[in-house]
Structure 1
Amino acid sequence: MIQETIVTTQNSQGITHIAPMGIHVDGENFIILPFRPSTTLNNFLETKVGVINYCDDVRVFAGCLTGRRDWPLKPAQEISGKVLECALAHAEVELIRIEEDATRPKLFCKTLHTVNNAPFKGFNRAQFSVLEAAILISRLELLPLQKIESEIEYLRIGLEKTAGERELESWGWIMEVLNNYKRKTVA
């Protein structure tokens, strides 16, 4: 199973990197597949630890993919790392093994500590729409623009029916990136 999460890692100077990432769940442990090159990969290789953040604030997902990476953090409890303040739950993990790949190495991570920070109150369709749209814009260079636009139009239905302020703000960021991309590719 793949879960959409926010992975926080730090380099040896303590600079935190926040990245949305689909991670593979392997029992109590995780497999993370960052693309090369990536800050997440570099940080895991350097420090051997990270945090898997479970977050229902879709602004973090959309924000990270649209250049907004300044989200409030707090110290992790068992590792040298940071946790998103808005994380409903998190797992502090340690890199135990790497399966090398030229494009996307597999990072096998062992869970060291888990915390439930706040109750999960459920998702609405707008949150799903924003999450899926954010994934689509992360693939602008990989998918045909027509496919992205048709999926965005479908996702807009759920957004318009159930969105709150957070979802509308996130959607606006995503549409800004999509419109800028379209202007560049048409020009």
Structure 2
Amino acid sequence: MGIKVTEKMATELSGRETFDGLIIMGGPMGVYQMDKYPFLRIETKLIRDAIEMGKPVLGICLGAQLISASMGGEVRKGTFGEEIGVKRVTFLKDLGVGNSAEVFHWHGDTFSLPAGATLLAYSDKYFQGFQMGSTMGLQFHVEVDSRMIREWIREYGGDTKLVDEVSEREERFRIVEDKLMHAWIDSLKG
């Protein structure tokens, strides 16, 4: 049995897509900027529809924030400032990565837990992960490598030391990514 993956940029969404599950990635905008970025409304509706239909949803960074907002949570600028770079998060549930792990952050916004969500992880500043059935939101980035960080710095600015921070930890990041993705996939089995 194979999996067909269709990748779409948020700006390409019509709101009439058919799908069996969603993975929503990050972006530089904030959920509260829907007037400036109308595609966020379409994404939010797709997420809400998917969750209500029991389809699996995974959100990374902005994706986690969109899940929270779509299910009644609040997304806002973080009162404790941005989290950018490698930081430690603490896990409250056994997801196969131990009690804590270093992960990469690039965000200034935070979210409240939607009703019915279980907190999975937190940092010294913000919530970092939650789960509701087959829906998982992760505030941090499990997918990054040094090439990606180099591109983000070129696009958005930032300290070039971040590339070295990530490069030194890429192997460990792949292990954390693999364990967390398996934890999400295992949650789909009910």
Using the size of structure 2 for normalisation, the TM-score is: 0.31
Using the size of structure 1 for normalisation, the TM-score is: 0.31
Determine which structure has more spread, i.e. the larger CA radius of gyration: 1
Which has more strand, going by share of residues? Answer: 1
